[in-house]
Chains A and B, each alone.
Chain A
Amino acid sequence: MYPTDYKYTREHEWVKVEGDVGVIGITFHAQQALGDIVYVELPKVGTQAVQGKTIGAVESVKAVSDIYSPVSGEVIEVNEALAETPELLNRDPHGAAWLAKIRLSAPEELEKLLDAEQYQALVAEES
């Protein structure tokens, strides 16, 4: 369920590191808890993301959930496809529905994140 090469936050975001860039998204568990996702508020390219701080939000019909950046750095690309098809987040949260790419300014932060096994345990605990 949860790719082992990703890192996870307690707030249900993931990051996949590709060189000096972190691709971020929300987890399967997060999209499931929200239900049908209808809108994604993405950061602007050029924004300085800070680990643990809000960089956007996802909305279902009756709930809003902030997105907390799993890493710090400059946002270099966002997934424009989500503006047109937010439901992608329900279909493929760990793949096609990535949210943003961030150039890592403090790679050592990754240490603070959970691995797949730890995250799985967290999800089991919460549900």
Chain B
Amino acid sequence: MRLLPKSDEERRRMLQALGLESVEELFAQIPQELRLKEPLRLGPGLSEFEVLEFMRSVGRRNMVGQPCFLGAGAYFHYRPAVVDALVSRGEFLTAYTPYQAEISQGLLTAIFEFQTMICQLTGMDAANASMYDGSTAMAEAALMARRITGREHVVVAASVHPEYRQVLRTYAHNQAIRVREAPYDPETGRLDTARAATLLDGNTAALIVQSPNFFGVVETLEEAAEAAHAAGALLVHVFSEAAALALLKPCAQADIVAGELQSFALPPSYGGPYAGVIATRERFVRQLPGRLAGQTTDTRGQRAFCLTLATREQHIRREKATSNICTNQALVALMATIFMALYGKQGLRELAEQNLAKAHYLADRLERRFSGPFFNEFVARANGRSPEAINRELAVSGIIGGLPLGRFYPELADSMLLCATEMSRREDMDRLVEIFRVGGRA
């Protein structure tokens, strides 16, 4: 087996050193009746060539490489070549969690830079070193709000990503947290703040609002924050499209920001791995879940970094920990860090402006369902046809269409969510518009 670095002769010598006759004796502890009687049904080992051939052939069964107008929590953004080149370095790729600070300064420094850039983007004081993804970050933010306020329930906008809300329900269910949903305004596609306010009461820990929301519409976060704070609850700002942060003013009154960083250099990769993050105000730092890197000095007085405030975490606090989270998404966060560094202050802004322009170009040629301002996604009416049928026609023309919304919002069954990014070409958008309006080659 090519992955095992020993000769048979070396194995014999080692067994001999242990006073053993055969490898079976190494497993003497396992009771006879529990030992595997026949080989696993997995087939023979394959060469690297064969494995990669298999993956390529399977990959060819996907419809990939065509223009795609799907967003909804996973976005097509260009990935600069530098990102993969750097994260492929073994010193990053094959390192463990940086508990041993002296030989992990590279990672720890990068995490510190990551935390700083997330704070700069979100207007918060502290950010953790990343979470599994946006959906779990949102659920953890809800639990965090409960710890801070000592209150039991949360109100979540119905315009939050439906799968994020489902994850919240799973987490909430076993902790007796009641989740109530605040409706969106059918005209604007925004949270109906007045209705949300009526759901907030003295036992509400947080109001959770996504912006831009699942429909791509930019929410009025300041209004939501005022409603939340008037009831003594926190405002949790959720985002799934990080590129929008470069353009939109951070909500000065938000207490927790939780989101998804897939837009920063992560391929859609059929839904993962991505990276979530939670950022918050200084006063709530001790309630943050997940790893944190902090600055300190070494015995020679040099600047150094280490994981810190570890007493919040499971390996120390065990059943009293802020979360059971252990791994984060370090390498993915590193990709996002490199992406943010490459684009920088000007580039990220230009990226966001291009997204805005592309989506508005497309939307101007279709019938929008909602009137609220939008970033790079919007809901379009399907012109009296079913969105699924339009998608099938688009597929025939080599275009991957948008997301039909009926499966998440029955009342929007006549609509689909479309996304355009800097990777969407005008000619492809024109083709989509044409098929959308008049049908394909039927």
Residues in chain A within 8 A of chain B (CB atoms): 39, 59-64
Bound: A64/B312 CA distance, A: 9
B310 contacts across to A, CB distance below 8 A: 61-62
Q: Nearest Cβ in chain B — how far from A46, in angstroms?
A: 15
**Other A-B pairs, 9, CB within 8 Å; known A59-B311, A64-B320:** A39-B286, A60-B311, A61-B310, A61-B311, A62-B310, A62-B316, A63-B311, A64-B311, A64-B317
* Mask of B291-316 contacts with A, CB within 8 angstroms, 1/0: 00000000000000000001100001
Bound: A82/B328 CA distance, A: 32
A60 contacts across to B, CB distance below 8 A: 311
Q: Nearest Cβ in chain A — how far from B316, in angstroms?
A: 6
Bound: A120/B317 CA distance, A: 29
A39 contacts across to B, CB distance below 8 A: 286, 311
Total cross-chain contacts (CB, 8 A): 15
Bound: A63/B315 CA distance, A: 10
Within B49-108, the residues touching A (CB, 8 Å) are: none
A61 contacts across to B, CB distance below 8 A: 310-311
A63 contacts across to B, CB distance below 8 A: 311, 316
B311 contacts across to A, CB distance below 8 A: 39, 59-64
- Sorted nearest first, the 5 A-B pairs with minimum C-beta distance are A59-B311, A64-B311, A64-B317, A62-B316, A64-B316
Bound: A59/B310 CA distance, A: 10
B286 contacts across to A, CB distance below 8 A: 39
A62 contacts across to B, CB distance below 8 A: 310-311, 316
Give me 15 A-to-B residue pairs in the complex whose CB atoms sit less than 8 angstroms apart, sorted by A's number: A39-B286, A39-B311, A59-B311, A60-B311, A61-B310, A61-B311, A62-B310, A62-B311, A62-B316, A63-B311, A63-B316, A64-B311, A64-B316, A64-B317, A64-B320
Bound: A6/B316 CA distance, A: 31
B316 contacts across to A, CB distance below 8 A: 62-64
| Nearest-neighbor residue (CB-CB) of B315 within chain A | A62
Bound: A63/B313 CA distance, A: 10
Bound: A10/B310 CA distance, A: 27
B317 contacts across to A, CB distance below 8 A: 64
A64 contacts across to B, CB distance below 8 A: 311, 316-317, 320
| Nearest-neighbor residue (CB-CB) of B320 within chain A | A64
Q: Nearest Cβ in chain B — how far from A115, in angstroms?
A: 32
| Nearest-neighbor residue (CB-CB) of A63 within chain B | B316
Which of A39, A59, A63 neighbours the largest number of chain B CB atoms within 10 Å of its CB?
A59
A59 contacts across to B, CB distance below 8 A: 311
B320 contacts across to A, CB distance below 8 A: 64
Bound: A5/B428 CA distance, A: 85
Which of B310, B311, B317 neighbours the largest number of chain A CB atoms within 10 Å of its CB?
B311
